[in-house]
Amino acid sequence: MLYLESIRLARFRSYSALSLSTQSGPIAIFGSNGTGKTNLLEAVSLFSPGRGMRRASAAEMTQHRAEGWSVSGLLYGSDRPRDIAMRSRDGAARSLRIDEKPATQLDLGRLSRVLWLVPSMDRLWIEGAEGRRRFLDRMTLSFHPAHGESVLGYEKAMRERNRLLRDGQRDSGWYQALEAQMAKAGAQITANRAAALTKLISAQNFSETQFPTARLTLTHPDIPLPVTEADLRHALADARPKDMAAGRSRIGPHRVDLYGHYQAKDCPAYDCSTGEQKALLISLILANGRALVADTGSPPILLLDEVAAHLDPDRRAALFDEICALGSQAWMTGTEQSLFDALGSRGQYLRVDQQSITHVRA
């Protein structure tokens, strides 16, 4: 069972120093606005590859630029506990040590899986494709720890190609070399996403959740996305003249969108009510969690910021039941303790005041 047994923060956002012990299972965090609830969840989100749930730079996470910040914790996983220590100095990207040895983001991704829902995602279904793609990739990353490397490699090669297109570069060998990298990483991205989606869909359908089932499809503008490495490479080569006119790459996994459809109401997610849209997202996160249990034997750590918002008391109670059934260490925030009444004695309760966090009774 994956969970953080303790976490320590130094000069991280609003916390000058904090040390906290936690257990597995749900954690209800409550306190007034601006007391540091989201900051704490952000710190936990760093226990997975990437920039964390605010997608902030390491420099933004502290006011002590030179000295920097540190976040560390003891992570219990399938085998032995691991000491994870992250720090950033002088605004540099965070460095990572696992059991005191330098480690990569990929190493972290193999050990730890963290998924989150934050208030800005309440608009995920109605805003641009980028947010949905990021959501899809985070779910995919939870099944395929190397997915992040593929995405970074693909985007790097694509930025280079876009630059050539904008410069009006004619050296076809240069395009070919970049398109070969894009095709290789791109085919891997597509395969990872498809495999993840298959797992998500079956984890939805086989469960009797109170949260709605979504029909999920991946779409690509204008033409079907070339799936294999060779097809993508040829499509990119053929697209060069039009891409040059557009000044960017118009074909590839970076244009993919996640379409969600509320099955029971036969309604596209973007036309559903705010509460229904949120329920759809929660449904996907829970399906992801169940699929990970099947895949890795352990549920992910969940971060559900302001989770009570837009959920009526019945749905809230159903969510707590689902989380308990899943067995996740679920860090949930809200302004009032009473929002978590339905959780009862199944959870741990943390009251957040400026700079300090105290365990309180249910």
Ligand X SMILES: Nc1ncnc2c1ncn2[C@@H]1O[C@H](COP(=O)(O)OP(=O)(O)O)[C@@H](O)[C@H]1O
Does 188 bind Mg ion (CB under 5 A)? Our answer is no
Beta-carbon contacts of 13 under 8 Å, excluding residues fewer than 6 positions away, are 36, 39, 42, 43, 61, 62, 69
Q: What is the rounded CA–CA span in Å between residue 232 and residue 122? A: 34
- Per-residue x/- track, 116-155, other proteins (CB under 8 A): ---------------------------------x---x--
Binder among 22, 24, 35, 38 for Mg ion (CB under 5 A)? 38
Instruction: Read off the amino acid at residue 111.
Output: L
Considering only residues 232 to 261 of the shown chain, the ones binding ligand X according to CB under 6 A are none
Q: What is the rounded CA–CA span in Å between residue 2 and residue 301? A: 7
Binder among 10, 61, 124, 302 for ligand X (CB under 6 A)? 61
Does 140 bind Mg ion (CB under 5 A)? Our answer is no
Binder among 57, 95, 181, 337 for other proteins (CB under 8 A)? 181
Does 288 bind ligand X (CB under 6 A)? Our answer is no
Does 38 bind ligand X (CB under 6 A)? Our answer is yes
Dig out the tokens for 32 from the structure. 């007034």
Q: In the chain, which ranges are continuous DSSP H helix?
A: 37-45, 105-111, 129-143, 147-167, 172-205, 229-246, 274-296, 313-326
Does 174 bind other proteins (CB under 8 A)? Our answer is yes
Helix (H), strand (E), coil (C) string for 172-217: HHHHHHHHHHHHHHHHHHHHHHHHHHHHHHHHHHCCCCCCCCEEEE
Q: What is the rounded CA–CA span in Å between residue 107 and residue 184? A: 22
Span near other proteins by CB under 8 A; candidates 39-47, 73-81, 137-145, 164-172: 164-172
Does 94 bind ligand X (CB under 6 A)? Our answer is no
Q: What is the rounded CA–CA span in Å between residue 288 and residue 53? A: 17
Binder among 93, 177, 194, 230 for other proteins (CB under 8 A)? 177
Indicate the residue among 307 and 319 with the shorter CB distance to Mg ion: 307
Does 168 bind other proteins (CB under 8 A)? Our answer is no
Output the smallest distance, CB 336 to ligand X, in A: 12
* Contacts with other proteins, residue ranges (CB under 8 A): 149, 153, 156-157, 159-160, 163-164, 167, 169, 171, 173-174, 176-178, 180-181
